[in-house]
Chains A and B, each alone.
Chain A
Amino acid sequence: MRRYQTPSQTVGPFFAYGLVPEQYGYRFTSIADHAVAAPATEGTHIRIIGQVLDGEATPIPDALLEFWQANAHGRYNHAADERQDNLLDPDFLGFGRTGTGTSADASFQIDTVKPGAVGEGQAPHINVVVLMRGMLTHAFTRIYFSDEEALNAVDPALANVPENRRATLIGKRDEASAGTYRFDIRMQGERETVFFDI
């Protein structure tokens, strides 16, 4: 029997105590938070910081971001990734979630490890879901890395993106702060972040 998809609805302004309660100080447990990686996770530990900006370039203080990535060996912790040569890391699920409402400048920060390349010519990247009040259906984007120029140049998803928009998908390494990358998400405007139809 054919069934039809349940429509999406906005996450609304009041998601924090349900989806990221510990970050916001509510008395409920979180299934995930900004620490995508644990201290014991294998790989190069990195931090990604940024803001989510609306069509007037105002930082959005009630966005929710979710992150899904492969481990340092380029392996996803999921049954559909059957590549035994890329080792699983028992200390890494690869999912994180954070709201933008607990810092004064509405910035987010995640602590993770740099994902390995997944193969098939792909550059290392982190998959991102963007949700907020005012978004009826969530958006998908990706974070690539500015220090992976050679792989970025041949990545098949980036190849689908017009050249003048690719920079919106590249997390910029902060030369002043080792292991830190900057990635802002612009919902609209000339430099609107590329969102994917997957």
Chain B
Amino acid sequence: MSEQRMDWTSHPPHVHPDYKSTVLRGPTKPLIAIDHRLSELTGPVYGHDSVGPLDADLTKNGQRNGEPLGERIIVTGRVVDEDDRPQPDTLVEIWQANAAGRYIHEIDQHAAPIDPNFLGAGRCVTDGEGRYRYITIKPGAYPWKNHYNAWRPNHIHLSLFGPSFTSRLVTQMYFPGDPLLDLDPIFNAVPEAARERLISSFAIDVTEPEFALGYVFDIVLRGPQVTPAED
């Protein structure tokens, strides 16, 4: 079969014991390969009409009575496939903790303050060149209970559909120079050669004077598929 399969040199395995929740949740039996037909070559399409006017500005879309606290940042990048072809009109969904490292989610019990003016969720759509851009607050690190003194590095969650069902991607963007990265079992579950692809770059040309620091994060989706099986 000539179709491309999951690239396990890029993606973390289903069971990675250092990340304890994988032990009872990750599938353990071999995955079963199937030919690509329309079920795999199609996928949901969400374009510009799925994004509201404030959705790409997380410093504004959760405001109740003022500005959210923390360091404003601009995040931009290109969504491309493995042949570097831009992926236009592609939805990018975003969620993250606030500057204090607290999620608005009600099951987050970390004793850091909720920011009444920050929701931490947003979305944007790529332009004709595959470029996306959103404004947010730099998320704080936060503790979790995976092991003693465990802290997640600063990160922003991202979700993309891409052109077909096979290109679905849910990932996390990290920040350069974060000392917690080396200690994080979720980041380190990724094959070593692929880890740096999850770390954004600081960019002075994206940074806006008197306003916000800029970071660049390109997202590479699984490449184009061959034609459906004939049989």
Contact = CB atoms under 8 A, between A and B. Distances in A.
Most chain A CB within 10 A, of B12, B21, B166, is at B21
Interface string A23-58: 000111101100000000000000000000011101
Given A31-B50, A135-B26, A198 B12 contact: no
B182 to A, nearest CB: 16
Interface string B22-56: 11111111011111111111111110001010000
Does more than half of chain A's interface fall in helix, strand or loop, or is it mixed?
loop
B131 interface: no
A156 B1 CA distance: 14
Interface residues of A, number: 77
B105 to A, nearest CB: 4
A125 B39 contact: yes
A135 B14 contact: yes
Contacts of A16: 105
A65 to B, nearest CB: 13
A1 B221 CA distance: 14
A5 interface: yes
B170 interface: yes
Interface string A142-180: 100000000000001100110001000000000000000
Interface stretch (B65-73, B187-195, B204-212): B187-195
B178 interface: no
A134 B6 contact: no
B7 A5 contact: yes
A136 B165 contact: no
A161 B36 CA distance: 15
A122 B10 contact: no
6 contacts: A4-B10, A6-B219, A14-B107, A28-B61, A76-B38, A120-B228
Interface of B: 3, 5-7, 10-14, 16, 19-29, 31-46, 50, 52, 61-62, 80-84, 91, 93-95, 97, 103-105, 107-108, 119-123, 157, 159, 164-166, 168-172, 186-187, 189-191, 194-195, 197-198, 218-222, 228-229, 231
Interface of A: 1-19, 21, 26-29, 31-32, 54-56, 58, 60, 62, 66, 68, 70, 76-81, 93-95, 101, 118-120, 122, 125, 127, 129, 131-140, 142, 156-157, 160-161, 165, 187-188, 192-198
